[in-house]
Amino acid sequence: MTLWFKQSLKSKLSLLILVAVIAPLLATGVVSYRIASNLTEKIEKESGMNTLRQVSDKLDFLIRDAETMSVFIIGQKDIQTYLDRGDADYALYSQNVAFLMNLASSKTYISNITITSTRGHPALSNTTVVHSGLPELQTAAPRSHDPDVKWWTPPYENRTTDDGVAEVFSLVRPIRDMSKFKRIGELAISIDISEVRRMLQDAGWNAGGQIWLINRDNRIVASPAADDEATESRPPLPDVARLTGPEGVMNVSDGRESNTLLYYTLPGLEWKLVGVIPTKIYTAQNKYVLTLTAYAIGLAALLAVVLVLYFITWVTRPLAKISKKLKDINPDEPVTRIEVKSSDEIGMLLHSYNKLGDRIQRLKSQLQEHEAKKKEVDIQALQAQIHPHFLYNTLSSIQWNALMNKDRQTAEMVGALSDFLRFSLNDGKEFCTVQQEVSHAQNYIRIMSRRFQDKFDSAFFIDPALHSRPMLKLLLQPLIENSIMHGLQKQKKKGSLFVFGECRDGAMTFVVEDTGLGMDADKLLKLRRDLAAPDDPEEDRAAAGKSGYGLRSVHRRLQLHYGGVAGLRIDSDPGIRTRISFQIPIPIEEVGS
């Protein structure tokens, strides 16, 4: 697979363009799905909240209607008279019962209206109450309400002759004398929970969810299904104690699945309508969106693949033909020209190829010509070797004559010169051993010490371990020459010249130090700048033979052969000394030897 990808331009272009096309398609599909999912959830939540508001309006109307009715009943003169009499008036009792029956029959949500007297008169009711759970509720929690203040009860059961057992919750409020405002009775208007349940059922809440009406104590007042009709598939009532504010939406989980909880507070009663929508409803709707998005992205990707492959094939076909022709070219034969039929990029490529072929042919001819000239120069150089041998023989004859005439100093000087020239030529070799380089430097000092007698003393301190190690030749002699000509020769007193060589930190370190005139700071700075200046052939030819040229030549040779760290380092104190050093790295495999 990797080899196929590396060798084929068509495969590279196909893969890159397909990635460039399909990746945005997939990203667009993911974003579209996320947006659609969030929009579906948002619509479902808004729909649920609107449903709660509609149910709240109906229940609020029912509550307010019951409270308005209670004020109307309390203000009836006959009821006030009946409750305030010292003895029971049965005619008035029958008249009030008839009034309550007519009033209750006009309100389908009223299960029972009961008026009790503080004087012990028979209770007034629109129907015969066989058993009421209200007294038990009041007795069980006497401090949960104030008898002198109206309040809405939790759900309880009433048994009447008309409806049998009915689940109700009631508005209970005291009845006071209209003139003296003393408490003379109590009114209880019971709301049939089945009517409230019917309102919740008619609300059209999601079939997979549930809706409840809960009171201030977070007790369930009503739900669409009776307790015995509840099924395990319906979500249970979540913890509503942490519901704050008049309305809101939050996510809850019962351990098995997550649900969305919506709640809305009834304005007049501060009871809450709580609805739960299972998240799986969103998931079911989102699956459809996901499927639709997947089909759309799949078709778009398939179309993109077909178009990309066709386009890449159309573009790379001419290149494939060119590649096949280039593969069959024989390097030993002239480059065959290719006919150019178009002026587009591929045509320009073929035109450049033809120009390159012509250029290669000309370079081959020039190379053959240069090779012929090189052979001729080599023959001439071989013939020129006669001159160095002639020079060596002549110097040897002079040295022999000096010895025969007992002129030992002349013989030593000629011998040193002969060795110096022999090493300098060295058959054209660039490298030598440290011992050979040191011997060459010593020969040079012997010659210069005869020329400048009583001007300087010299001493070599070379670590014997370095003698056999290789180094670039003709490095020490230019440094010694610079010390003699510019440091020692110009001063009146006799000076000293020292040459050090040691192995330090995995490198050979060489130092040439003299006790000559030295340099001031400005001259030293200029010399360092000259060493670091870039190469300029014309300037180098003009500076040849001048002060500092030999140092610059050594500096460049060191950097060319050993890298930037191997250049010259120069330090000088005016009137005291000048010190020039360099380092030659030792190969890692030779450091431990």
pLDDT interval class at 515 (50, 70, 90): very high
CATH 3.30.450.20 location in the chain: 50-188
CATH 3.30.565.10 location in the chain: 429-591
% of the chain exceeding 90 in pLDDT: 15
Q: Which has more pLDDT, 255 or 85?
A: 85
Cross-sheet strand order for the sheet of 495-504: 456-462, 495-504, 507-514, 577-585, 569-573
pLDDT of 128 reads 83
pLDDT of 230 reads 44
Tokens of 557: 């040779």
> CA–CA distance from 382 to each of 369, 388, 389, 391, 419 (Å)?
20, 11, 12, 16, 21
Measure the CA–CA gap between 211 and 209, rounded to whole angstroms: 7
Angular region, 563: left φ>0, alpha ψ -120 to 50, beta rest = left
CB-based contacts of 484: which residues, under 8 Å, 6+ apart? 448, 452, 455, 456, 497, 514
130-162: per-residue pLDDT in tens? 888 888 887 776 556 677 788 888 888 888 877
Q: Can you tell me which residue has the tokens 């011997």? A: 439
Tokens of 109: 């949500």
Cross-sheet strand order for the sheet of 210-214: 220-222, 210-214, 272-278, 258-265, 247-253
Measure the CA–CA gap between 476 and 482, rounded to whole angstroms: 10
Element of type H or E holding 264: strand 258-265
Average confidence (pLDDT) over 318-328 = 68
Measure the CA–CA gap between 500 and 165, rounded to whole angstroms: 122
pLDDT of 139 reads 78
> How is residue 562 annotated by DSSP?
H
Adjacent-strand bridge partners of 158: 132, 166
pLDDT of 380 reads 46
Element of type H or E holding 144: none
Identify whether the C-beta of residue 573 lies closer than 8 Å to the C-beta of residue 514.
no
pLDDT of 433 reads 92
Residue 332 has pLDDT above 90, yes or no: no
Most confident of 2-6, 414-418, 436-440: 436-440
Residues present in the chain in total: 593
pLDDT interval class at 357 (50, 70, 90): confident
pLDDT of 406 reads 65
Average confidence (pLDDT) over 478-484 = 91
Q: Number of C-alpha atoms within 13 angstroms, CB side, residue 184?
A: 18
Q: Which has more pLDDT, 12 or 67?
A: 67
pLDDT of 390 reads 47
Residue 506 has pLDDT above 90, yes or no: no
Tokens of 74: 């309390």
Residue 456 has pLDDT above 80, yes or no: yes
Average pLDDT of the chain?
79
CA 464 from centroid of its chain's CA atoms: 59
Angular region, 24: left φ>0, alpha ψ -120 to 50, beta rest = alpha
91-113: per-residue pLDDT in tens? 888 998 999 889 888 888 888 89
Which is the CATH superfamily of the domain at 429-591? Histidine kinase-like ATPase, C-terminal domain (3.30.565.10)
Measure the CA–CA gap between 460 and 510, rounded to whole angstroms: 11
pLDDT of 134 reads 84
b/e code 422-448 from CB counts within 10 Å (16+ = b): bbeeeeeeeebebebbbbbbbbbbbeb
248-270: per-residue pLDDT in tens? 888 877 667 778 888 888 887 78
Q: Which has more pLDDT, 226 or 364?
A: 364
pLDDT of 504 reads 87
| Residues 56, 62, 68: CA angle, nearest 5 degrees | 130
Of 102, 103, 107, 100, residue with least CA distance to 129 = 100
Measure the CA–CA gap between 504 and 267, rounded to whole angstroms: 94
Average confidence (pLDDT) over 451-461 = 87
365-402: per-residue pLDDT in tens? 777 776 655 555 444 444 444 445 545 555 666 666 66
**What is the DSSP pairing of strand 129-132 with strand 431-433?**
unpaired
pLDDT of 232 reads 45
Element of type H or E holding 542: helix 537-543
Tokens of 270: 């501060």
Of 304, 306, 285, 308, residue with least CA distance to 296 = 304
Identify whether the C-beta of residue 222 lies closer than 8 Å to the C-beta of residue 212.
yes
Of 436, 437, 484, 434, residue with least CA distance to 458 = 484
| Residues 207, 163, 57: CA angle, nearest 5 degrees | 45
564-574: per-residue pLDDT in tens? 778 899 999 99
Sequence-separated contacts (24+) of 545-551 with Cβ below 8 Å: 547/486, 548/482, 550/478, 550/479, 550/481, 550/482, 551/478, 551/479, 551/482, 551/527, 551/580
pLDDT of 460 reads 95
| Residues 120, 171, 116: CA angle, nearest 5 degrees | 10
pLDDT interval class at 3 (50, 70, 90): low
pLDDT of 47 reads 84
Of 430, 519, 506, 513, residue with least CA distance to 475 = 430
Average confidence (pLDDT) over 521-528 = 91
Measure the CA–CA gap between 117 and 97, rounded to whole angstroms: 14
CATH number for the domain whose boundaries are 50-188? 3.30.450.20
Average confidence (pLDDT) over 425-443 = 82
Of 458, 510, 526, residue with least CA distance to 487 = 458
Q: Which has more pLDDT, 559 or 256?
A: 559
Angular region, 425: left φ>0, alpha ψ -120 to 50, beta rest = alpha
b/e code 47-62 from CB counts within 10 Å (16+ = b): ebbebbebbbeebeeb
Residue 563 has pLDDT above 70, yes or no: yes
3-class state of residue 174 by DSSP: strand
- For the packed helices 476-483 and 434-451, what is the interaxial angle rounded to 10 degrees? 30
